[in-house]
């Protein structure tokens, strides 16, 4: 059993870690809710692109034809990436940017993989879902915004762990899940807050931890390039980015990459000089076909001039953890049932966060009122504190009664 001094320390840590991150966690929960159903919302809004129906064995156009068709719409730009949806290999999405460097100024062109016909130029930097995504990922602040949200995620984990430690002494006189409806509104909200907090505990830990990992993605990729790719690129040291005019056939490069890893499907291609490649390679990221391996990527570096495979390094553990955490964060593993479960848990967490903030503000109002004694005054300090299992710290002389 914790001593009164230890309890005060745990309570102080829980209180301030909760209060600092609560508003931002509310924002992330609210913006994350539509992102869980981004495909479904895209269909409703008419922004999802689908390839026209054709016989299953219709021949595919070459990758060179696909990129030429997309590039013709914006010849002043460079092709940065090309990707295929996991559930539809009849489509290519080609990303065009002003330079190969990372940027938010990009165009996404949908091209039919069989006819090389342009199907759509998707608006990728406007609309409701774009705003939700940017607020959720980086607050429109780039890497600084990501790292800030990552720190808020860390505080969330601290709040959860400290809340769990404090939950047992708080509940020692109450049945699990009890909500004292006969008491004041504040006590009822306190009990509901604690109940939902402990019910959503595991989910909040998973989503908080995976979200925090996702905010480190840019740094992880840069470290991987510095730590592993730099060794593989020693033979190319000092050479500039391969000019487009000197690059070999892309279809030949694709076939060389796929031949190295039969049974795997293409996820996306990063072209020379871009963030996921080197100045000298077309880098093909291949994925498996099972629910788990479809989330794991195998990079294959193909010399942009000769179309010969140079290397196929295994991703380090930290990038594997990143890839696994991304779909788990949004509940993408189990189809619609898991998405619905994720949405319900998200809504419950919004209630936990909102009620915790309400209880803290209510306590402050009571403490400021001369008609209401300050919390703890009637019980000599910590005996009247009500620890919480999840963000939204509050203390209550009623809660421990």
Task: Dump pLDDT digits (tens) for 141-185.
Answer: 999 999 999 999 999 999 999 888 887 776 677 776 677 777 777
Q: Which of 303-312, 330-339, 350-359 has the lowest mean pLDDT?
A: 330-339
Other residues' Cβ atoms within 10 Å of the Cβ of residue 55: 7
Ranking 202-211, 215-224, 312-321, 392-401 by mean pLDDT, the lowest is 392-401
- The domain segmentation of the chain, as residue ranges, is 60-127+216-330
The set of residues, in sequence order, having a beta carbon less than 8 Å from that of 310 and lying 6+ positions away, is 232, 281, 301, 302, 303
Order across the sheet with 309-311: list the strands.
118-122, 107-112, 91-97, 78-83, 265-270, 281-287, 297-303, 309-311
Report pLDDT for 198: 82
Give the residue with greater pLDDT, 374 vs 98. 98
Banded model confidence at residue 187, pLDDT cuts 50, 70, 90:
confident
- Average pLDDT value over all residues in the chain: 84
User: What confidence score (pLDDT) does residue 378 get?
Assistant: 32
Q: How many CB atoms lie within 10 A of CB 140?
A: 10
The more confidently predicted of residues 31 and 356 is 31
Question: Are 311 and 303 contacting, i.e. CB atoms less than 8 angstroms apart?
Answer: no
User: What is the CA 392 to chain-centroid distance, rounded?
Assistant: 23
Question: When comparing pLDDT for 211 and 295, which is higher?
Answer: 211
pLDDT at site 369? 61
pLDDT at residue 283 in the model: 95
pLDDT over threshold 50, residue 395? no
Within 109-200, where are the H helices?
128-137, 142-170, 185-199
**pLDDT value of position 57:** 87
Residue with the larger pLDDT of the pair 234 and 214: 214
Lowest-confidence region among 56-65, 163-172, 252-261: 163-172
pLDDT in the model for residue 372:
45
Specify the pTM. Answer: 0.81
pLDDT at 377: 34
CA distances from 65 to 62, 294, 308, 365 (A): 5, 27, 20, 67
d(CA 255, CA 300): 11
Q: Which stretches within 216-242 are classed as H helix?
A: 217-224, 230-232
Q: Is the pLDDT of residue 257 over 80?
A: yes
Task: Output the pLDDT for position 389.
Answer: 39
Spatial separation of the C-alpha atoms in residues 77 and 65, rounded to whole Å = 17
- Position 367 scores a pLDDT of 63
Token pair recorded at residue 384: 């009247």
Q: Beta partners for 302?
A: 282, 309
Please tell me which residue, 392 or 90, carries the higher pLDDT value.
Answer: 90
- Which of 29-38, 131-140, 179-188 shows the lowest per-residue confidence on average (mean pLDDT)? 179-188
């Amino acid at each position: 059993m914790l001593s009164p001094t230890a309890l005060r320390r745990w309570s102080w840590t829980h209180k301030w870690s909760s209060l600092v991150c609560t508003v931002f966690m509310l924002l992330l929960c609210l913006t994350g809710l539509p992102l869980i159903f981004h495909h479904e919302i895209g269909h409703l809004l008419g922004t999802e692109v689908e390839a026209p129906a054709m016989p299953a064995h219709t021949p595919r156009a070459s990758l060179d034809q696909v990129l030429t068709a997309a590039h013709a719409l914006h010849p002043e730009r460079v092709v940065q990436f090309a990707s295929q949806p996991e559930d539809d290999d009849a489509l290519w999405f080609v990303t065009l940017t002003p330079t190969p460097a990372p940027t938010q100024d990009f165009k996404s062109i949908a091209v039919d993989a069989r006819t090389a016909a342009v199907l759509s130029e998707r608006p990728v930097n406007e609309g409701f879902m774009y705003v939700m995504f940017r607020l959720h990922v980086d607050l429109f602040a780039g890497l600084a915004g990501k790292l800030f949200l990552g720190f808020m995620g860390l505080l969330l984990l601290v709040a959860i762990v400290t809340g769990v430690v404090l939950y047992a002494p708080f509940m020692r006189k109450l049945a699990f899940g009890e909500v004292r409806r006969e008491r004041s509104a504040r006590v009822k909200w306190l009990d509901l807050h604690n109940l939902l907090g402990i019910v959503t505990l595991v989910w909040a830990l998973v989503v908080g931890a995976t979200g925090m990992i996702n905010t480190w993605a840019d740094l992880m990729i840069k470290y991987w390039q510095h730590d592993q790719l730099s060794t593989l690129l020693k033979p190319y040291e000092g050479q500039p980015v391969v000019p487009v005019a000197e690059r070999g056939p892309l279809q030949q490069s694709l076939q060389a990459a796929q031949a190295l890893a039969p049974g795997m499907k293409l996820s996306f291609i990063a072209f020379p000089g871009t963030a996921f490649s080197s100045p000298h390679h077309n880098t093909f990221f291949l994925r498996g076909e099972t629910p788990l391996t479809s989330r794991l990527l195998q990079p294959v570096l193909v010399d942009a001039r000769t179309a010969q495979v140079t290397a196929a390094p295994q991703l380090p553990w930290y990038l594997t953890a990143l890839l696994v955490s991304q779909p788990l964060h949004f509940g993408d593993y189990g189809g619609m049932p898991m998405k619905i479960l994720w949405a319900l848990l998200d809504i419950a967490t919004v209630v936990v966060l909102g009620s915790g903030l309400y209880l803290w503000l209510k306590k402050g109002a009571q403490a400021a009122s001369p008609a209401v004694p300050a919390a703890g005054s009637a019980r000599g300090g910590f005996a009247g504190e009500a620890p919480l299992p999840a963000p939204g710290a509050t203390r209550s002389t009623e809660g421990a009664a």
